[in-house]
Amino acid sequence: MPTPQDFRLEESDVPTPGEGQVLLRTLYLSLDPYMRPMMNEVPPAYAAASVQVGQPMVGGTVNRVVSSRHPRFQVGDLVLGSSGWQDYSLSDGKELVPLGEMKQPSLALGVLGMPAFTAHVGLLDIGEPKPGETVVVAAATGAVGAVVGQIAKLKGARVVGIAGGADKCRYAVEELGFDVCLDRREPKLAERLAAACPRGIDVYFENVGGEVFEAVVPLLNHRARVPLCGTISSYNGDTPPPGPNRLPQVLAVLQQKRIRMQGLIILDHYGDRYDAFRRDMDAWVADGRVKLREDRVDGLENAPAALIRMLEGGNFGKLVVRVADV
């Protein structure tokens, strides 16, 4: 688990854009679980490199163009960027996505952004829920899990969430429309999950790993689908946990029940799936069928504590840092 001492706030001069560059002011910074594996010395398999000690942390951002020597961007443009944990940054524009004007620009980091896109692709392309099937998702009020559950409901599935704490569970049922939500901090999760899934589990959207996964496995139905979108519970481990070794039993169950499990890194899909996501999600958000609570923190200096809180399961909704109002 990272500590506040692993982070340092550094000040330097605001840089000046060269020819073909823009200077960006960060308005909102997204905090997401994948940031933890990016802090490892060995980079995760999806990243070209880890965040190096002394370099700024990475992260998705909503930015305002404050100075431009790039033909495609004007001062004042609102863009989706990847400035990381910085107030100001330079960009050659290649990775910037124009956002137009938005009433609530931070949505571009949440229900209209990467976490919801992960939910959309993982649930629909890998999970493929059918009406009447049972879908289970953990971190049920988190940025990904909340959207998974709501899309699954739109597709006619029965949705069972798992979340940390009674308030989150109540929110998942009352506000997000989950059929059931189980508090993972209460005892006997496996038994409660079995009771909540009387017809077994057809889709388990995996975004936490660990104890939840082990409770899910015995309940998986024949031909169940398991999109693997994250395993936050193991991000802080650098050695395998103590035994027994659950792997052989899990492989046997997957084989005997003809289960399909597939990993997903959403970066792969901006080319082929992003438009379909935005078409669906813009409509669902506009008419209120999908929503996502925002857990907003003010000030870049509070990002380290907020990230740690998220890794401990303490966030309630999509965690964003408001860096500046411009």
> Measuring CA to CA, how many Å separate 32 from each of 187, 245, 295, 304, 322?
28, 29, 12, 12, 14
Question: Does the footprint of a second copy cover residue 37 (CB under 8 A)?
Answer: yes
Q: Which is nearer to a second copy, 257 or 291 (CB)?
A: 257
User: Which of 190, 253, 276, 324 contacts a second copy by CB under 8 A?
Assistant: 253
200-235: b (≥16 Cβ within 10 Å) or e = bbbbbbbbbbeebbebbbebbbeebbbbbbbbbbbb
Q: Is 288 in the site for a second copy (CB under 8 A)?
A: no
Dihedral angle over CA of 190, 195, 196, 201, nearest 10: 70
Considering only residues 90, 194, 254, 305, which one is a binding residue for a second copy as defined by CB under 8 A?
A: 254
Give the Cα separation of 73 and 75 in Å (integer): 7
Among 194, 250, 276, 300, binds a second copy (CB under 8 A): 250
Cβ within 8 Å of residue 239, ≥6 positions away: none
Instruction: Among 264, 285, 307, 310, indicate the residue that binds a second copy (CB under 8 A).
Output: 264
Q: Which of 1, 9, 42, 45 binds a second copy (CB under 8 A)?
A: 45
Site string (200-219) toward a second copy, x via CB under 8 A: ------x--xx--xx-----
Amino acid identity of 173?
Answer: V
Q: Which stretch binds a second copy (CB under 8 A): 53-61, 91-99, 112-120, 261-269?
A: 261-269
256 is a site residue for a second copy (CB under 8 A): yes
The reply on whether position 258 binds a second copy by CB under 8 A is: yes
Least distance from a second copy to the Cβ atom of residue 151, Å: 20
In angstroms, what is the minimal distance from the CB of 311 to a second copy? 15
Please enumerate, as own/partner, the contacts of 252-257 that have beta carbons within 8 Å and a separation of 24 or more.
253/217, 253/218, 253/220, 257/220, 257/221, 257/222, 257/223, 257/224
Q: Name the site residues for a second copy (rule: CB under 8 A).
A: 37, 44-46, 206, 209-210, 213-214, 222, 228-231, 233-234, 237, 239-265, 268
